[in-house]
A and B are shown apart, each in its own frame.
Chain A
Amino acid sequence: MINPHSEQLNIYGEYFNSRLLIGSALYPSPQIMQQAIQSSGADIVTVSLRRQNSVSAGEDFWQLIKETGLKVLPNTAGCHSVQEVVTLAQMCREVFDTDWIKLELIGDEYNLQPDPFGLLEATDILLKEGFKVLPYCTDDLVLCQRLADLGCEVLMPWGAPIGTGKGLINTYNLKTIRERLPEQTLIVDAGLGLPSHACQALELGYDAVLLNSAVAGAGDPVKMAAAFSHAVEAGRMGYVAQAMPEKEVAAPSTPTMGMPFWHQN
């Protein structure tokens, strides 16, 4: 029997047509944010929580996001301890009325690298509390395996440090994770800058990409969002179509039979 969802993105048993998850931060204006999100074709948008007296936190922003009609994925950005991420996840669940959480626990300020040890501990706690955890993690195979062992159905290894736009800096690691965890939904999260980076992630067999700065920081965020939308479609189609094997030696594509002036030694 054909699985009707086989060509959709599976996140904890919910299915989505778009393989692009988009962030809501850093846009030049709220209007451009809305237009870019729409242009991206994304089904899922990331959000966060901050003190109410901080700039632009509150009902106005939340209303704009609700108007998109998209599924919301709250994050725990900026947290540096297990207690902080657990508390913020619990607060997100109440405000956003979802048990999804993009679990982000920073271990180093220089490159905003996730703390793998705290991430495992926090993931274990939150999964037991009924959260559907989408951990933002490094591209370490064993860490990804341990997260999967805990019950994570979705893993989000980085392509590069957040906001760098460097693309996939370690394709070997990303490929290995894909090979070793064929059942998990894998999303490259962070570090992308170009549509070709997203395309490459999908070509590697990743199920989706999550990005923000690459679109919000572009000269024309609305157009760039559309470009990424096309890129993930191309990458996915390329993966499903199964690329030709790479070779070390050239092989002519034009038939040699009937070639005039054929050199016969």
Chain B
Amino acid sequence: MNLTYNGEAIRIESAQSLQQIIVSKGAKPPFAVALNGQFVPSAKLSDTMPNQGDSIEVLSPIQGG
């Protein structure tokens, strides 16, 4: 399955939850996740299964004005 993870094309061989994908990518907390531009609360990451072509965004704190 082809996905986009933080703007980068990735491929996963079997169906995985958002939680599994994020762990496999080595994401470190704190972060929040969006799937196809929609926020996915952390409590739902394990239940959410991305589909072919989906886009995942994992965002963390940064400086802001």
Q: Per-position contact with B for A34-73: 1 when CB-CB < 8 Å, else 0?
A: 0000000000001111111110111101100100000000
Contact indicator A94/B63 (Cβ below 8 Å): no
Contact indicator A90/B39 (Cβ below 8 Å): yes
Rounded to whole Å, the gap between the CB of A257 and the closest CB of chain B is 56
Rounded to whole Å, the gap between the CB of A33 and the closest CB of chain B is 7
Candidates A51, A65, A190; contact of B59 at CB < 8 Å = A51
Candidates B6, B27, B39, B63; contact of A24 at CB < 8 Å = B63
Contact indicator B57/A57 (Cβ below 8 Å): no
Contact indicator B60/A50 (Cβ below 8 Å): yes
Residues of chain B at interface, number, CB under 8 A: 25
A148 contacts partner chain B, Cβ-Cβ < 8 Å:
no
- Bound together, the chains give a CA A77 to CA B62 distance in angstroms of 11
- Bound together, the chains give a CA A46 to CA B64 distance in angstroms of 5
A49-B6 in contact given A84-B37, A91-B59 (Cβ < 8 Å): no
Contact indicator B61/A47 (Cβ below 8 Å): yes
- On chain B, the residues within 8 Å of A59 by CB distance are 28-30, 60
Residues of chain A at interface, number, CB under 8 A: 39
Candidates A52, A61, A90, A213; contact of B31 at CB < 8 Å = A52
Contact indicator B64/A62 (Cβ below 8 Å): no
A56-B62 in contact given A51-B57, A92-B32, A95-B31 (Cβ < 8 Å): yes
Candidates B31, B41, B57, B64; contact of A48 at CB < 8 Å = B64
Chain A residues with a Cβ under 8 A of chain B: 23-27, 33, 46-54, 56-59, 61-62, 65, 74-75, 77, 83-84, 87-88, 90-92, 94-96, 162, 190, 212-213
Q: List 28 interface pairs A-B (beta carbons < 8 Å), by A numbering.
A: A23-B63, A24-B64, A24-B65, A33-B63, A48-B64, A49-B32, A49-B60, A50-B59, A50-B60, A51-B7, A51-B57, A51-B58, A51-B60, A52-B31, A52-B59, A58-B60, A58-B62, A62-B30, A65-B61, A75-B64, A87-B38, A90-B39, A91-B32, A91-B34, A92-B32, A94-B42, A95-B59, A95-B61
